[in-house]
Amino acid sequence: MSNCLQVENLTKSFGADVIVDRISFTIDEGEKIGLIAKNGTGKSTLLNIIAGVDTPDSGTITTRNNLRIGYLPQAPTFPPQMTVMDACLDGDTPAARAVREYEQALAENDSNRITTAIQEIDNLHAWDYEDRFKQILHRLKITDFKQPVAQLSGGQVKRIALARILISEPQLLILDEPTNHLDIDMIEWLEGYLQRASMTLLMVTHDRYFLDNICSRIIEIDDHTTYSYDGNYNYYLQRRAERIEARDAQIERARNLLRTELDWMRRQPQARAHKARYRIDAFHDLKQRAQRVHDAGDVQLQAGNTYIGKKIFTAHDVSLRFGDKVILDRLNYTFARYEKLGIVGDNGVGKTSFIRLLLQEIAPDSGHFEYGETLRFGYYSQQGIQFDPDKRVIDAVRDIAEEVVFDEKNRYSAMQLLSKFLFTPRDQQKLIAKLSGGEQRRLYLATVLMRAPNFLILDEPTNDLDIQTLGVLEDFLANFKGCVIVVSHDRFFMDRTVDHTWVFLGNGEIRDFPGNYSQYRAWREAHPETAETPASPTPQQRKPRTDRPARLTYKQKQEYEALTDEIRQLTDEIARLDALFASGQPLDDIDRQAERYQQLRRELDAKETRWLELSELAEA
């Protein structure tokens, strides 16, 4: 196996802060590598340097001759006047340049340039280039190719950048948090795509299932030292635990030896003067090793016994729609004490809108929520970070409280709490403006939990948090004596933290599944027909209506039976098109197929709505 890329003694500083410190490793052709480190230790900076976006202060990067590198940064940007199509054709690859030249030649009606461009496209076999990236965009749920980039969300922009990188088929693909802003279906599609791809891969991601299913090697950067583990994420965890255990044993031996050396060092100066200088130097080195803090993954935050009453909240006939789009349709639900609920569903089906309703940030169209008197919400959201950038980390926490009291046994000073969230004493003195995006999210999470809520609502908490912080949060939630709602696309996090799952199916329909996401996924694969049809209304979701007719008319009964077959046929055709778009095969009529796909979705939504209406009549 030949070397694809070699990094030697790479160092990068910003002012007095050393971000990347003498990092060295080699990537062999065909390897799929996951890079793991705490927030603020230079992961994104390292990727920027390897991709050529940034330059190191010292060290070298050696690549194979003519190596094609594709890079997806954490927050890609495009000129706002570009359309989705323009952004995808803007790539710096031979195929993209040839197609772009052909389009420009056609627009200018330059016959010589058209002939040359056609020849170049023939040589590159690039006639299906446009169709292929349209297929990838469909899988990433981008369907309006003429929409200006300025009108897109940050998540949509990242998906366009991901599609452009994938279609360029680089030899080395570098991905920085590729699963952020993807729903679970998109993540699983991307996972399968990367598993099948022959390209070399280097990526940073917090998604542990993603790491486990794709990577053949894990590189960890810890305390300015690089560790390499040949195997997937599961194997890395085993080997890392062995390393931590061996290191702790070494630290304990150093501490024992330190006690003896301390006795010697504390003698009178005249006694110490007769000792060898090397022993004094060795003592200081020993002291440094013995006082080294434990690994961040060993830090635990005790949740304490937060009191919450028996009455939590009850939803009474809560409905919400935006125009023709139904978010909730007469939702009735009584939330139980200590319940831990996970919410999943495609982007845009109303997960965050439900949270905003619950927090009374928006009002329902009809119905209401009834709340218990002891309820105290703690809300972590993607848009919730609001810190003064000129403040120090410790001051931002002290502005809220000098001491955090979860219960009588679990009391933390501001400094102690921050240490639980992996902020060293030195980090606590930093200005917030100098924190990385992940460190700011970690600080935000600390400020949410320090208010000692008894009902936690976490909306996409895993985006941009490092794996060590996620472990601290997962352990906290496992011992949390309160209620939890988690909205997340992180399958591993959901599996560790929730006891049942709401699946938002769209059109106001919610399936309540008694298990975590992986259990739901296994059930869905075992019952594909049931999983694809709307869930029947349950007593908790629907209240009896007194204004319904006693039974279906003969005509309604015929319509109801026919709808079941029509919904199945529409679902089958949509699934066939999904498979076609994901196949990577060239399509001559991609625009027609895309239009048909949108038409099928509209028809399915309408028929599902009618099916629900008739099913309620049938059950009256």
DSSP 8-state symbol, 380: E
Query: What is the per-residue burial (b if ≥16 Cβ within 10 Å, else e) of 240-250?
Result: beeeeeebeee
- The mean pLDDT of 407-416, rounded to a whole number, is 80
CA dihedral 221, 222, 224, 227 (to 10 degrees): -50
Q: What is the pLDDT of residues 355-372, one digit of tens each?
A: 999 999 999 999 999 999
Instruction: Place domain 3-235 in its CATH homologous superfamily.
Output: P-loop containing nucleotide triphosphate hydrolases (3.40.50.300)
Percentage of the chain exceeding pLDDT 70: 84
User: Once rounded to an integer, what is the mean pLDDT over residues 442-459?
Assistant: 89
Question: Within 10 A of 202 (CB to CB), how many other CB atoms are there?
Answer: 27
- CA–CA separation, 304 vs 404, rounded Å? 11
Greater confidence, 265 or 236?
236
CA distance 76 to 289: 41
What was the pLDDT predicted at 417? Answer: 86
Q: Across 346-393, where does the E strand assignment appear? A: 366-371, 377-380
Query: What mean pLDDT comes out for the span 121-143?
Result: 83
pTM above 0.75, yes or no: no
Q: Is the pLDDT of residue 540 over 50?
A: no
Q: Where are the beta strands (DSSP E) in 269-352?
A: 313-322, 325-335, 340-345
DSSP string covering 135-173: HHHHHTT---TTSBGGGS-HHHHHHHHHHHHHHT--SEE
pLDDT at 287: 55
Per-residue pLDDT, averaged over 272-285, amounts to 55
Indicate whether 454 pLDDT > 80: yes
Question: How far is Cα 575 from Cα 427, in angstroms, rounded to an integer?
Answer: 50
pLDDT at residue 109 in the model: 85
* The predicted structure's pLDDT at residue 549: 39
Cα dihedral 128, 134, 139, 144, rounded to 10, equals -170
Residues 367, 355: Cα–Cα separation, whole Å: 15
Topology at the third CATH level for domain 313-516 = Rossmann fold (3.40.50)
pLDDT in tens, 474-496: 888 888 888 999 999 999 999 99
Q: Reply yes or no on whether the pLDDT at 434 is more than 90.
A: no
Write out pLDDT tens, residues 94-118.
888 888 888 788 888 888 888 888 8
Cα 178 to Cα 173, 187, 210, 379: the distances in Å are: 11, 9, 10, 25
Least confident of 21-35, 119-133, 141-155, 193-207: 119-133
In this prediction, residue 317 carries a pLDDT of 94
* Interval 242-256 mean pLDDT: 76
pLDDT level of residue 1 (50, 70, 90 thresholds): low
Q: How confident is the model at residue 522 (pLDDT cuts 50, 70, 90)?
A: confident
Confidence (pLDDT) at 613: 67
What's the mean pLDDT when you consider all of the chain? Answer: 82
Give the mean model confidence (pLDDT) for residues 426-445: 89
3-state secondary structure of 83: strand
pLDDT digits (tens, 9 = 90+) for 389-402: 999 999 999 988 88
Mean pLDDT of all residues in 522-530: 77
Question: Tell me, what's the pLDDT at 550?
Answer: 41
CB 177 within 8 A of CB 463: yes
CA–CA separation, 191 and 179 (whole Å):
9
Residue type, 72: L
Q: Rounded to an integer, what distance in angstroms lies between the CA atom of residue 545 and that of residue 478?
A: 39
For the chain, the distance separating the N- and C-terminal CA atoms, rounded to the nearest angstrom, is: 68
Per-residue pLDDT band at 288 (split at 50, 70, 90): low
pLDDT the model gives residue 480:
87
In the numeric block, the tokens 């769209």 are attached to 506
Residue 497: which H helix or E strand, with range?
Answer: helix 491-497
Q: In this structure, what are the phi and psi dihedrals at residue 480, rounded to the nearest 5 degrees?
A: -75, 125
Q: Greater confidence, 271 or 575?
A: 575
Q: 414 versus 249: which is more confidently predicted? A: 414
Res. 293: pLDDT tops 60: no
Greater pLDDT, 406 or 164:
164
pLDDT at 39 > cutoff 80: yes
Task: Answer whether residue 544 shows pLDDT above 80.
Answer: no
Give me the mean pLDDT over the 347-357 stretch: 89
